[in-house]
Structure 1
Amino acid sequence: MLDKIIDFSLRNRLSVLIGALLLVISGIIVTTQMDIDIFPELTAPTVVIMTEASGMAPEEVEKLVTFPIETAVNGATSIRRVRSNSTMGFSIVFVEFDWGTDIYKARQTVAERLIQANEMLPDDIDRPVIAPQTSLLGEMMIIALESDTLNPIDLRTMADWIVAPRLLSVGGVAQVNIIGGEIKEYQILADPYRMNFHGVTMNELVNTCNAMNINTSGGFINQYGNKYIVRGIARTEKVSELANSVIKVSGGFPVRISDVATVKTGRAPAIGTASYRGRNAVLLTVTRQPDANTVVLSEKINEVIREIQENNVSSLIFHTDIYDQASFINTSVRNVMKALIEGGIFVVFILFFFLFNTRTTIISLLAMPLSLFVTIITLKALGYTINTMSLGGMAIAIGSLVDDAIIDVENIYKQLRKNVILPDGEKESPLNVVYRASSEVRTSIWNATLIIIITFVPLFFLGDLEGRMLRPLGISFIVSLFASLMVAVTVTPVLSSYLLTDERRLKKAVKGSWTERNLSRIYLKALQYTLGKSRILIGITSLVFVISMVLLTTTGSSFLPAFNEGALTVNISLPPGISLEESAKTGLEAQKILLGIPEVTSVSCKTGRAELAEHFFGENMSELDVPFILKERSREEFFADVRERLKALPGASIEVGQPITHRIDRMLSGTRANVAIKLFGDDINDLYRIANNIRTEISDITGIGDL
């Protein structure tokens, strides 16, 4: 088969070159259109159910809200895992489906099950809400909002009614969670003495409050050939008009709300606070849709922020330096691309050094871009993105891409030099020599390529998260290697027939280059020596193999290597029961400590939770996002310094990690940690006691950073 491909290529040389040129053009176009991301899409089809249960203790939330929802969704088709968290006033349930399940079908299934669950839920809670569709690494940007002129209530109002809706209008944004500031509410403070004086009961006051501030429809009137719509307009934002709402008529005089209560605007009870660099602020967390291009979406969001600032909202100050996933993506891809380019340059020097011929070097090197473009086109066709895994596969293959072409072009060049010194009657035509030389090595390059490809096939048998992570690496490596084989039996012979058949050049190169002659002489001596010492060589090889196996079995392993994301995620946990205000004070103190570290460029803090947010904490917990730039110290030294300085916080449990690493850990174990020990039981007090005992026993284990 390969012989036929070689023969076809040499008979249609111009067509092959045109095809290669079209491949390069197509590859460039596809490369510019490819989405860029950190990793492949790692999120199993997941539906998130959130329920606000204001005022309920965690135990009641679990029994009365979370458990009925879990019971309702359990048993649905293709569900592989149901996880939940219950905290004061809030329940969240994660329903994970099998890989490959259509997410819209999964959401429909959960919605149908929730109809059944609603009948079992208390009447005084909000109805369960299905969260927008997002991905594991969906939290792509954190924006801090400050103002020198607005008070906390007005700042939060601007975030709720101007900034967030504008961000949600950007295609690709799934959700904008807001925390911080003060939520505005209209407060009616009843006075029992005045209520008693006017004979107004609490039920009457509550019923009036529920019925007021509502617009109603009165139908329409046809008159004088016109149609008039009748409206009852009672909705208002003015406190004075709300206060004038009539409760009842007593003794011929109306009793208004202002007669029995004080009406004013105030702040709603806070369930979370936020700060930026130690100053009170509003934090907006932007979550993208699963298929959105993070880099492009980040640019659109920054453009929207500029538009908001330009459109008469100059009092708002935006800070986007806290966390921007696009920056990490660009840095990661840039680093891998740098490795690819450096590897390619290194290959160029090595090729030229050993071949010592410009034309053979160029022919061999052309296998690299052609193979890489084939790989990118294939990844695009299969729906993958350019990410660290797919680029990593290409980087691993970069040195092997030229192997087949080198073998082919070297044999062609060798046979052409032999042919040129033959008598005229014995010489073959250059095309015949090229065909014969390529055919001689076809089996060797086929077998060598196939053996390397087979070693990567097991990656395709990995399941779940591991398979989703590593499959693009295997695809890019195998496709690029197979493409290099095809280039070696098509483009390489054609280019050799054009560039290497000049008799004058061949006669000058009959003896070979200086490098070729000397390496052949050295290799011949080494081969003769080792053949005479075969037993010693086999013994040394066996010893090295045994040592390697011992080291392999004793070396630690991890799913992903530690990498520098350029940002820290610091979780601070205080004893349960502490107030939100006290917890926020600890968060402010932690920010001051972190800002004193040279590498830290900024810091933000979220204490408690935002309304209907998947990423939430109790009031005793704070999460700090800390961007940093490493300078003189290593990553490990910097992390150790952060942990050491934060030990100064009294009574706080500290966890230091990185945003993306934390989310992958949560996907693997359900918690934001490398190793999670889960306890199950009926008595929460017993579980706390056992957990503390376990903590004491394992705290001295070497290697534990946070516990």
Structure 2
Amino acid sequence: MKLVKTSVKRPVGVIMIVLAIIALGTVSLRNLNIDLFPEIDLPIAVVATSYEDAAPEDVENLISRPIESSVSSVEGIETVQSQSQSGSSLVMMMFNNGTDLDQALLDVRENIDQVKGVLPDGAGDPSVLRFNPDQMPLMWVGLTGDDAAKLTQVAEDQIVPFFERQNGVASVTVEGAKEREVQIVLDQSELQQYGVTAQSITQALNSANQSASVGVVEKGNQDLQLRVTGDFESIDDIKETLVQTQTGETVHVDDLAEVKDTHAESSGETMVNGESAVVLSIMKKTDANTVEVAGNINDSMDEIEGELPSGLSTNVIIDTSEYINMSISSVVQNILLGGAISFLVLLLFLKSLRATIVIGLSIPIAIISTFTLMYFTGETLNVLTLGGLALGLGMMVDSSIVILEHIYTYRQRGYSLTQSSIKGASELAPAVIASTTTTLVVFLPMVFVEGIASDMFTPLALTVSFALIASLIAAVTLVPMLSSKLLSKATKESGRRYWFNRFLDRVNNGYRAVLKWVLGHRKTTVFGSIAIIVGSLALIPMIGASFMPSSDQGQLQVNIETQPGSSLEHTQSVAEDVNEKLTAYDDVMETNYLNVGGGGGAGMGSSSNQATYMMQLVPASERSQTTDDIVQSMSEDLDSVPGADISVMATDSAAGLGDPIQISLNGPEHDVLRDLADEVVDVISGIEGVHNASSSAEDGDPQMHIQVDSEKAAMYGLTEQQITSQIQLQFTGQTAAQYREDGNEMDITLMYPEEERSTINDLEDMKIKSESGASVSLASLVTLEEVQGPVTLQRDNQQPQLNVTSEIIGRDLGSITGDIRQELDNMSFPEGYSYDMGGQAEDMASSFTDLSIALVFSIFLVYAVMAVQFENFLFPFIIMFSLPATVVGVLLGLFVTGLPLSIPAFIGIIMLAGIVVNNSIVLVDYINILRRDEYGKSRYEAILEAGTNRLRPILMTTLTTILAMVPLGLALGEGAEMQQPLAVTIIFGLAVSSIFTLLLIPVIYTLFDDLTAKILRRKKT
């Protein structure tokens, strides 16, 4: 080939190109973004609408249904789901993969504008938002100390602005903050004595707390603005505010109430490692590098720590970049280990450091070139792309090995180094290009795979492709050039023969003997191979299936839910009981964050009957138990805590992919669905592997409905609004005015003492004041009724729906899903009601279908490439017989390692379709070369000579590919679980297939050669 000859004749040019590639690759590597996984593109949009004080049924009928109908006609819509709860509606639209979400959002907004007119008065304007699962905090930082007020002030005034100034930070949210407010606690007896109402105090405060411009006066040549200043300047100003009584006298506010500079009553509590705290959740900008942003924050921690008041300290609770760094380091370590193993294998075979370096240079050049191509295609440096490099490490030297081996052959025949390099490389370059192309084309059908499987593994496919293309170019240019300059001594035999060569000779002799036997017993060989392949299928039921491997990130979440309507104090007491149980895990727990009531720690909403623990465990290498083991143990320990439903779950890489098990129940009536959901939860909870099964049906909060008797109220000159506002003031408080201090604004709130607003008796005995000043008992004006409060109503594609979800533990997803389907099929569903499997189980089935189609197309493309290479349809067909044997290796590997068939394993099978034929291509191509007139070998002699001559390069390429993947196959280090199924599939599949290639392919070759001869003889006759 001209390219080979040019590279040998012009070594300086090749060297300069290599140096340029190294320089460009180094710059590209420095600028690559680092993340845990590639970005997952979920085409989802949401429409949020408020409708205050409306019941869920009204929200569903008046808000959710019209919006559902309007957006259902948008092109590309796959599913429309809605959640209707008291006061708000949320409609979620899931689009088909490949939909232009920007255009879809414009269409949704247009349709929403058309339906706004039919929405009821009081409904808020619908907001259309893009759903982005990646917008989660990258770090949680706790600020601990004894003074809650100081914690909030320092967090909001010092730390939030400081963190938001760091490069790449988008926003910082303070959780557990104590809002400062001025409370005016009214004294009922004083109010009655002076004849003052709460409204009078509110009016007085607002009148005294005003500033206004009142005109302009001249002073010489200047105009002076006239401004009356009346804002409160201190708490004493509020106390001394004058209030006019009904008799015309004036009294001060502190004569009627106690004025307190304090904090608003909290709806929740946050604690970090058992200490009272506020927590700062930090969000990064969309295009920012997670690791870089986290590094900026960590680097600045010492600076902000030194500026904090005494007694306050910061503590990183969860830093998502730590796991990313550990995972990336593990993969890099596996790459280096795999590279070292490949280098040692080459050195063992070649017995020459120079020859090993000639081939080994293909690895760094291919990797550096890959970094350059990744940068220009916008890929990130993540676990999967680096895993692709680790997986392709052994394959990078395959082409170089074959080329160098053939150069050796010509050198041993007496050719000069230059002639050997040109002739040896040129002769096998077409076969090498064909074998590399077959590996590359298997990734083309991935373009047609949609969803998460495509988002996750297309970057891996691109990375492997880049590396193989770079290594191929190096094999046909750099290797011949270096061989012509460096291998003068490497090809000389001197003294006693190399021990490994003697060992290979024995292996070669043994292989030659076995090859003679299989050629003499062709039927036995073929039927024996078929029996082995069919027999391996018996392993399928024992393997199972799963969607994506879960990685041990060491993050746990404990959800506590007490009875609906439980007070914050009761939930806190249950949380304390849980905390006592969790002290047994202090040795494996790094940090923990408790949130009772208020907002959940991970951006989840909750209420006074809910509490959430988020825990970061020590790295997996520092503990003897896996996160799943700890989850099981912790679940058993917390089952004994009374008064609450407690669930424990691990947070891992698959957490963003939805619940493993999601059963969607559909039917016309919400009430029937609730009963059906409870029954399904009971049924599936008894299935082995199902963990924390729960229904989305919520129990309503207990409420006291107050029905005003309009006629009785009118007798006292009262309206329903006046009664409502007085009840609200008594039990909730009322914001009367604003107080500004040092640039901060806080509420001035009127309220009654807590002991007058705690019980039902306080409600019944409450006095309602009319405009005439008369007082009347509330009980005489209203009817009180205790009821269950509203719940959330869900719909899917405009039909009522409820979801039953579950985690899985101890078993594979496929087996559990099969058992659940069997149990549900045995249930008697009412007419008109049905179930669908969703979540990861649905995604798994969909992805397996897409990948199966991709596998079929990959096999066809491999055949097509070989047909073009050989210009023959028969020889590629012979080579394809190496593919069925991979089934044996794949199933055996998954069975031995205890791994289920997952998306990564399926990707490994697709890759095998292009890898396993490489050895067969080299073998069959060499048989054909030996049978040409130039050599004149008979078929039998050609097969024996080709087999024994190609055994060495086949062993080298196979061993370098397999052994380079062993570190990944052993899942060494953090985050390696994602690539383990892929590596195991290739290791076992390639190993078993290589054996079949060396023995079965020659037999198939002879059978088809005989068949061809018979057909040609008949034609001649």
For normalisation by structure 2, the TM-score amounts to 0.60
Residues 386 and 494 (structure 1), Cα distance of their counterparts in 2 relative to 1, 3 Å cut: same
Distance 1:232 1:126 in 2: 38
2:649 matches 1:657: yes
1:690-701 aligned at under 5 Å gives the runs: 690-701=676-687
Distance 1:464 1:146 in 2: 43
1:255-270 aligned at under 5 Å gives the runs: 257-258=253-254, 260-270=256-266
User: Aligned to 2:472, which of 482, 485, 501?
Assistant: 485
Q: Is the 8 A contact 2:631 2:650 kept in 1?
A: no
Q: Larger deviation: 592-601 or 73-82?
A: 73-82
1:152-167 aligned at under 5 Å gives the runs: 152-167=148-163
1:470 is matched with: 457
Q: Percent identity?
A: 27
Residues 117 and 568 (structure 1), Cα distance of their counterparts in 2 relative to 1, 3 Å cut: farther
1:168 is matched with: 164
Which protein is bigger by CA-based radius of gyration? 2
2:579 matches 1:583: no
Cα displacement (A) at 1:91: 6.6
1:292-441 aligned at under 5 Å gives the runs: 292-320=288-316, 322-420=317-415, 430-441=417-428
Distance 1:191 1:178 in 2: 35
2:547 matches 1:559: yes
2:134 is matched with: 136
Cα displacement (A) at 1:6: 2.0
Residues 582 and 4 (structure 1), Cα distance of their counterparts in 2 relative to 1, 3 Å cut: farther
Secondary structure in 2 aligned to 1:467? helix
2:525 is matched with: 537
1:506 is matched with: 491
2:268 is matched with: 272
2:597 is matched with: 608
User: Aligned to 2:444, which of 445, 457, 461?
Assistant: 457
User: Aligned to 1:592, which of 560, 580, 595?
Assistant: 580
Secondary structure in 1 aligned to 2:599? coil
Cα displacement (A) at 1:681: 6.1
Alpha-carbon deviations, 1:634-666, whole Å to 9, x = none?
444323212211212224333333334464133
Distance 1:540 1:105 in 2: 58
Distance 2:535 2:322 in 1: 42
Q: Is the 8 A contact 1:417 1:510 kept in 2?
A: no
Distance 1:267 1:688 in 2: 41
Cα displacement (A) at 1:363: 1.0
For normalisation by structure 1, the TM-score amounts to 0.85
Between the two proteins, the alignment pairs up a number of residues equal to 685
> Amino acid of the residue matched to residue 626 of structure 1?
M
Q: Is the 8 A contact 1:178 1:611 kept in 2?
A: no
Distance 2:86 2:265 in 1: 14
Residues 119 and 506 (structure 1), Cα distance of their counterparts in 2 relative to 1, 3 Å cut: same
Distance 1:169 1:200 in 2: 50
Alpha-carbon deviations, 1:287-333, whole Å to 9, x = none?
2233221111112222343332222434321111x311011001111
> Amino acid of the residue matched to residue 357 of structure 1?
S
Distance 2:213 2:494 in 1: 97
Residues 636 and 232 (structure 1), Cα distance of their counterparts in 2 relative to 1, 3 Å cut: same
Q: Larger deviation: 442-451 or 648-657?
A: 648-657
Residues 193 and 367 (structure 1), Cα distance of their counterparts in 2 relative to 1, 3 Å cut: same
Distance 1:70 1:213 in 2: 48
Q: Is the 8 A contact 1:34 1:386 kept in 2?
A: yes
Secondary structure in 2 aligned to 1:617? coil
Distance 1:596 1:499 in 2: 64
2:483 matches 1:496: yes
Distance 1:290 1:312 in 2: 30
1:612-623 aligned at under 5 Å gives the runs: 614-623=603-612
For structure 1, the residue ranges without an aligned partner over 5 or more in a row are 421-428, 667-672
Question: Please, what is the CA RMSD of the aligned residues?
Answer: 3.8
Distance 2:125 2:28 in 1: 46
User: Aligned to 1:639, which of 631, 641, 666?
Assistant: 631
Q: Is the 8 A contact 2:406 2:424 kept in 1?
A: yes
> Amino acid of the residue matched to residue 646 of structure 2?
I
> Amino acid of the residue matched to residue 314 of structure 2?
F
Q: Is the 8 A contact 2:400 2:472 kept in 1?
A: yes
> Amino acid of the residue matched to residue 500 of structure 2?
T
2:24 matches 1:32: no
Distance 2:637 2:90 in 1: 34
Residues 567 and 234 (structure 1), Cα distance of their counterparts in 2 relative to 1, 3 Å cut: farther
2:803 is matched with: none
> Amino acid of the residue matched to residue 642 of structure 1?
M
User: Aligned to 1:528, which of 493, 516, 520?
Assistant: 516
1:426 is matched with: none
User: Aligned to 1:13, which of 5, 11, 14?
Assistant: 11
Alpha-carbon deviations, 1:427-466, whole Å to 9, x = none?
xx54333121111111211121122223333333221222
Alpha-carbon deviations, 1:488-530, whole Å to 9, x = none?
1121111112212x2x653437998553452433432332233
Alpha-carbon deviations, 1:395-430, whole Å to 9, x = none?
11111110001111111122123225xxxxxxxx54
Q: Is the 8 A contact 2:554 2:651 kept in 1?
A: no
Distance 2:112 2:344 in 1: 65
Q: Is the 8 A contact 1:50 1:612 kept in 2?
A: no
Distance 2:48 2:304 in 1: 31
2:613 is matched with: 624
1:180 is matched with: 176
Q: Is the 8 A contact 1:368 1:401 kept in 2?
A: yes
Distance 1:19 1:122 in 2: 71
1:573 is matched with: 561
> Amino acid of the residue matched to residue 311 of structure 2?
S
Distance 2:15 2:299 in 1: 44
Q: Is the 8 A contact 2:551 2:652 kept in 1?
A: no
Q: Is the 8 A contact 2:195 2:245 kept in 1?
A: no
Cα displacement (A) at 1:699: 1.0
> Amino acid of the residue matched to residue 437 of structure 2?
L
Residues 20 and 273 (structure 1), Cα distance of their counterparts in 2 relative to 1, 3 Å cut: same
Cα displacement (A) at 1:365: 0.9
Residues 220 and 290 (structure 1), Cα distance of their counterparts in 2 relative to 1, 3 Å cut: farther
User: Aligned to 2:500, which of 515, 520, 527?
Assistant: 515
2:10 matches 1:23: no
Distance 1:338 1:89 in 2: 54
Q: Is the 8 A contact 1:144 1:276 kept in 2?
A: yes
Distance 2:267 2:668 in 1: 28
Residues 43 and 573 (structure 1), Cα distance of their counterparts in 2 relative to 1, 3 Å cut: farther
> Amino acid of the residue matched to residue 146 of structure 1?
T
Q: Is the 8 A contact 2:175 2:599 kept in 1?
A: yes
Distance 2:518 2:68 in 1: 69
Alpha-carbon deviations, 1:342-380, whole Å to 9, x = none?
111111111111121211211111111111112221111
Q: Is the 8 A contact 1:135 1:290 kept in 2?
A: no
